[in-house]
Amino acid sequence: MALTQQFARVTPEYLDRCRATALDSPGASPGRDPPEADRLDTEWALWGLLHHCRSTGADPELIALLDRAVSGDPDGNVGFLDHDEVYDGFGDPPRALAPAAVADIAAALDRVQLADLLSSLPASTADAAISCGFRGGFDGDVREHLAEHFAALREFYRTAARRTQCVVTWVD
């Protein structure tokens, strides 16, 4: 089973309702099911981008930005989402980013020069995949894969910031 990085855009009120539902339900289920249009699955691409940035000595601020965008804030106060119906227990429990943090991340993602980051990837697909920590072979263009998922993440955060929403992150 492959693990993938998941995101959901939700309002603070939605999280409050999930918290209340978890407190009131016998199994502590938060009753969480964000609409498909407000979910994003970046597969493992962003982990690969982070791996590449770390291995090439990219700007530590950029690495911290990507890590925060992917991992959320540890003080997101969403422990009620730590439930079998939300995620399957791999990695850390879900974390949330408040609307102000989402706006900061969206603005910072807009400043990332992705082409510059990807320019240091090796030319061969096999070597580029290794540079990103992808194991077991990779079909396709690594640069294109990373660029596609980074663009999706950037747009996801832009939309959440424009709507003053939270972003919940988890591995599934």
Residue 71 clears pLDDT 50, i.e. is over it: yes
DSSP secondary structure letter of residue 17? H
Q: What is the pLDDT of residues 24-37, one digit of tens each?
A: 656 544 446 677 89
* Residue 133 CB burial class (10 angstroms; 0-12, 13-18, ≥19): middle
Predicted confidence band at 50 (pLDDT cuts at 50, 70, 90)? very high
Compute the C-alpha angle 155/66/148, nearest 5°.
45
Predicted confidence band at 114 (pLDDT cuts at 50, 70, 90)? very high
Higher model confidence: residue 23 or residue 4? 4
Higher model confidence: residue 53 or residue 20? 53
Predicted confidence band at 87 (pLDDT cuts at 50, 70, 90)? low
For the full predicted model, state whether its pTM sits above 0.85: yes
